[in-house]
């Protein structure tokens, strides 16, 4: 039997085979579900979860979830961003993908269309173009989550109405209409934050000669002021003692228990606590130095460690200060998650533990340990400036523009040890006398 194939036919078969051959990453994927996306946790490196038709979601180490669409046009591979999850849900992302695939089927490159749309109605001087430029310029000075929040707020509440308009033509009345639209759904605080961010974009435009003035100043007094929200906290000494005894009796995950025990002794922000790594601690110097990139004010912060704080850390160290198998240089989290030591404990772990102990969110939160310390330390007469520095509340006036992370450090060391001793006495239910600042 002659099995030879004519040269022309063989060539056509080869072309067809080339179209069918795909890499392992391009093999058909099971369609995603909203539950899978919602539960997906960040890893040390950015990774992708594939849906269908070239649609996938990209998850950054900071937890940001970005929709992307991969397509081919003119023999080249291209990608387009389709928004941020959860603001853009799974169904919406698929709908956007479907519209773009229709354009592609008509021989139109969706990427070229998008560029043309961005250049229209103001082009490089449009509000959206300048806002994205401003975010790109300053993103390195913010935490990733802060930058994501600003961009999401713009994409959801501002760009749809003002994004394509030339920034120099936008008036206070235009901004007010957008802010009232946000406030109408009960998000008054979001509206005020949006005004602040818009103001920064306008001032950037003025500085780069693309606008004459910032119209957000004309909106002063045009909207109600949102009620200040305070984190729920326990500050009555007797009840503080009850809380500390409840923490000592906590029977959940040991790492979570240690985080609960340490939280009132250091009163840092919850994110700063759960993302702590062992390399930041110096037991000989009795210090925890938190790097600036993890601080709200982007400045290094020194936390003097009391004897009690060091005891808790030494008790936990054998369990979590161990190199990861095959990853000796990976960060060793002081409080890793229950599923993997490659990630810190979840931001809900301490809150959930407090609930299990019978403390609802209206009564106590992880952030509440800061309010507890601030209230009682001020009541007992400690230096306001020392307390504020220990809370990492950088003063923003011109005189104190340069944040000195070591300011009042000798006094803060005494204060932190006295604070831990005071909490010990509250826990033992002693009749505690005020622990006033002693003379040096």
Residue 401 CA to residue 408 CA, distance in Å, equals 16
H helix or E strand, kind and range, residue 226? none
Burial of 154 (0-12, 13-18, 19+ CB in 10 A): buried
**Token code pair at residue 296:** 């709200």
Q: Residue 152 CB: number of other CB atoms within 10 A? A: 17
Q: What is the DSSP string of 365-378?
A: -TTHHHHHHHHHHH
Angle at 156 between CA 153 and CA 157, to 5 degrees: 75
Query: Euclidean distance between the first and final Cα of the chain, in Å?
Result: 105
233 close to 365: Cβ distance less than 8 angstroms? yes
Q: Residue 168 CB: number of other CB atoms within 10 A? A: 16
80 close to 69: Cβ distance less than 8 angstroms? yes
Residues annotated catalytic, as ranges:
269, 296, 367, 370, 393, 403
Angle at 117 between CA 113 and CA 120, to 5 degrees: 140
Residue 153 CA to residue 198 CA, distance in Å, equals 10
Instruction: Please tell me whether residue 324 adopts helix, strand or coil conformation.
Output: strand
Backbone angles phi, psi at 119, to 5 degrees: -80, -15
**Token code pair at residue 145:** 């989550």
């Amino acid at each position: 039997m002659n099995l030879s194939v004519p040269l022309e036919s063989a060539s056509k078969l080869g072309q067809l085979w080339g179209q069918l051959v795909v890499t392992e990453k391009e093999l058909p994927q099971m369609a995603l579900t909203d539950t899978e996306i919602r539960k997906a946790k960040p890893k040390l490196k950015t990774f992708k979860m594939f849906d269908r038709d070239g649609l996938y979601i990209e998850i950054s180490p900071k937890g940001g979830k970005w929709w992307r669409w991969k397509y081919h046009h003119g023999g080249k591979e291209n990608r387009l961003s389709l928004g941020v999850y959860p603001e853009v849900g799974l169904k919406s992302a698929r709908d956007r993908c479907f519209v773009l695939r229709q354009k592609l089927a008509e021989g139109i490159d969706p990427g070229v269309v998008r560029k043309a749309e961005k250049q229209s109605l103001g082009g490089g001087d449009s509000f959206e173009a300048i806002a994205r430029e401003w975010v790109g310029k300053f993103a390195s000075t913010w935490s990733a989550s802060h930058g994501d929040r600003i961009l999401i707020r713009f994409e959801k509440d501002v760009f749809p109405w003002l994004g394509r308009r030339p920034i120099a033509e936008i008036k206070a009345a235009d901004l007010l209409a957008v802010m009232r639209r946000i406030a109408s759904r009960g998000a008054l605080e979001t509206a005020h934050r949006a005004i602040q961010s818009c103001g920064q974009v306008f001032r950037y435009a003025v500085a780069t000669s693309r606008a004459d003035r910032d119209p957000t100043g004309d909106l002063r007094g045009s909207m109600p002021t949102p009620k200040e929200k305070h984190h729920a906290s326990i500050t009555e000494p007797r009840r503080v003692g009850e809380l500390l005894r409840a923490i000592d009796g906590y029977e959940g995950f040991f790492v979570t228990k240690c985080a609960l025990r340490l939280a009132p002794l250091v009163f840092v922000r919850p994110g700063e606590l759960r993302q702590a790594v062992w390399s930041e601690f110096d037991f000989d110097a009795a210090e925890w130095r938190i790097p600036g990139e993890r601080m709200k004010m982007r400045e290094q912060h020194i936390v003097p460690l009391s004897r009690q704080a060091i005891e808790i850390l030494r008790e936990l160290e054998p369990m979590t200060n161990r190199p990861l198998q095959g990853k000796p240089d990976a960060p060793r989290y002081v409080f890793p998650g229950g599923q993997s030591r490659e990630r810190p404990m979840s931001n809900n772990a301490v809150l959930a533990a407090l609930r299990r102990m019978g403390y609802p969110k209206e009564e106590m939160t992880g952030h509440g340990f800061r309010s507890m310390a601030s209230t009682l330390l001020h009541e007992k007469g400690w230096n306001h400036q020392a307390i504020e520095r220990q809370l990492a509340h950088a003063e923003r006036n011109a005189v104190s523009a340069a944040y000195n992370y070591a300011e009042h450090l000798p006094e803060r060391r005494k204060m932190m040890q006295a604070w831990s001793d005071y909490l010990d006495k509250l826990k033992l239910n002693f009749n505690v006398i005020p622990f006033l600042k002693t003379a040096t």
